[in-house]
């Protein structure tokens, strides 16, 4: 019972923090909506897909760009959760949480699950706006994509936890985001299919194929249309599990990566 109470309290705290900050939801939606509504025509021309109007733009971004933008929402939410972890650690609330009698690995996992819950809410808010823009994804895809969102949120959330264990000061977070978020996003199939990237550069295509975020986007892309992608599923779960283990080790007081001087 105490384990469930802890999980409920942590998830409820994160959800209330998210709901009490409407600007956070707006900022999470503005970035992908700009790509969705402004750059979709350019993507259609770059992909060379000829589809009869009036749905030429929407069908193209539904197949190629929409899953990538879903990944963008989850990626930036993971970084936002990582930022809040660094802030909580500096303010002392994170240290109070980690000194509770429950195992440290369970507390870190609860924080990860709370971040996944917030991530899923943000994605469905974005998908609702995309549906209003005549998105052609099937309605059942909004249900079948849920397990993919949870798995992708696990991987990206664990990455955020690991980063929060490495960052010692809040001021260093912006620089870390530039070196993590943008390479993960742009060196992936979030905006263009892999075969199109390979036409321009074999090396860039190989890098994109090795990028775990690519597999997360492909997992969401297949799930959005009711299909299963075995290889992306295995990669996302394996990388997510590995990152979670590293994050738990990072928050360990004896073997952790965040030893403070004088303590």
Report DSSP state, residue 20. T
Check: CB of residue 141 under 8 Å from CB of residue 108: no
Q: What is the pLDDT of residue 51?
A: 41
Least confident of 20-29, 217-226, 241-250: 20-29
Lowest mean pLDDT of 17-26, 74-83, 195-204, name the range: 17-26
Q: Which residue has the tokens 């929402």?
A: 73
- Record the pTM: 0.82
| pLDDT for the residue 108 | 87
- Rounded CA-CA distance 71/191 in Å is 10
Residue of 155, 150, 146, 145 lying closest to 212 (CA atoms): 155
Confidence of residue 148 (pLDDT cuts 50, 70, 90): very high
User: Which whole number is the average pLDDT over 36-60?
Assistant: 50
Tokens representing 106? 């369970």
What pLDDT score was predicted for residue 215? 93
Q: Cα 86 to chain center, whole Å?
A: 18
Residue 25: pLDDT above 80?
no
Q: Any idea where the domains of the chain sit in the sequence?
A: 2-250
Say if residue 113's pLDDT is above 80: yes
How large is the average pLDDT for residues 121-131? 85
pLDDT band at 96 (very low <50, low <70, confident <90, very high): confident
What pLDDT score was predicted for residue 193? Answer: 77
Q: For the chain, what is the mean pLDDT?
A: 79
Query: What is the predicted pLDDT for the residue at 225?
Result: 83
pLDDT of residue 20: 81
More confident residue, 205 or 101: 205
pLDDT at 49 (0 to 100): 46
The confidence score (pLDDT) of residue 13 equals: 84
**pLDDT attached to residue 255:** 53
Is pLDDT of 46 > 80?
Answer: no
Given a contact cutoff of 8 angstroms between Cβ atoms, the answer to whether 128 and 47 are in contact is no
Q: What is the pLDDT of residues 49-60, one digit of tens each?
A: 444 444 344 444
pLDDT value of position 52: 40
Query: Is 47 a residue whose pLDDT tops 60?
Result: no
């Amino acid at each position: 019972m105490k384990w469930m109470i802890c999980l409920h309290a942590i998830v409820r705290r994160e959800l209330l923090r998210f709901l009490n900050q409407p600007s956070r939801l707006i900022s999470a939606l503005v970035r992908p909506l700009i790509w969705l509504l402004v750059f979709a025509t350019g993507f259609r021309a770059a992909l060379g897909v000829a589809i009869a109007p009036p749905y030429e733009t929407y069908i193209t971004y539904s197949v190629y760009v929409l899953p990538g933008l879903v990944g963008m929402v989850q990626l930036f939410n993971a970084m936002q959760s990582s930022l809040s972890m660094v802030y909580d650690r500096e303010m002392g609330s994170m240290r109070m949480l980690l000194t509770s009698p429950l195992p440290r690995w369970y507390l870190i996992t609860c924080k990860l699950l709370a971040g996944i819950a917030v991530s899923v809410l943000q994605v469905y808010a974005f998908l609702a706006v995309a549906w209003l823009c005549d998105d052609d994804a099937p309605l059942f895809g909004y249900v079948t994509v849920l397990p993919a969102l949870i798995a992708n949120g696990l991987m990206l959330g664990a990455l955020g936890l690991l980063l929060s264990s490495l960052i010692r000061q809040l001021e260093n977070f912006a620089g870390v985001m530039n070196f993590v978020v943008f390479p993960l996003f742009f060196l992936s199939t979030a905006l263009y299919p892999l075969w199109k990237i390979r036409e321009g550069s074999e090396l860039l295509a190989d890098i994109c194929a090795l990028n775990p975020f690519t597999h997360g986007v492909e997992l969401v892309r297949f799930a959005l249309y009711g299909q299963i992608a075995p290889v992306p599923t295995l990669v996302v779960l394996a990388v997510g599990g590995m990152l979670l283990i590293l994050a738990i080790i990072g928050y360990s007081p004896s073997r952790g990566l965040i030893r403070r001087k004088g303590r």
